[in-house]
Amino acid sequence: MIILYVENPIASSGFYEKILGRPADEASPGFVMFHLHEALSLGLWRRGAVLPAADCGHEMVIMAPDPASVDSTHDAWAGPVLLPPTTAEFGHSFVASDPDGHRLRWLAPS
């Protein structure tokens, strides 16, 4: 999954609906989701709600089968961790960065 941080997900979804030629699959005031392919989704997340707060405009999400997988990946992670394993309304995740500072989130959806 690729997530773009936007000011207003509902307003931004109008732009992506036009360029993708279809409506969003899920929408709420804080998050909009487009399922682009069996293995790829595009999310639009309200910038002010992103945890941890971000100074970039995106993150890549790697889907995990369950919360235990998120925790074990976190425990084995050798690079910087930006957010330890945390459970939120959308699932259990942790956020780390790659050697170039790109944000990576491991997520077991709820």
Q: Confirm whether 1-50 and 55-110 share one CATH topology.
A: yes
Q: What separation, in Å, do the N-terminal and C-terminal C-alpha atoms of the chain show?
A: 15
Backbone angles phi, psi at 3, to 5 degrees: -120, 130
Average pLDDT, the chain: 93
Q: How many CA atoms lie within 13 A of 77 on its CB side?
A: 23
Give pLDDT tens digits for 2-34: 999 999 999 999 989 998 999 999 999 999 999
Domain ranges of the chain: 1-50, 55-110
Give pLDDT tens digits for 61-81: 999 999 999 999 999 998 899
Question: What pLDDT was estimated at residue 103?
Answer: 92
**Fold entry, domain 1-50:** 3.30.720
**Fold entry, domain 55-110:** 3.30.720
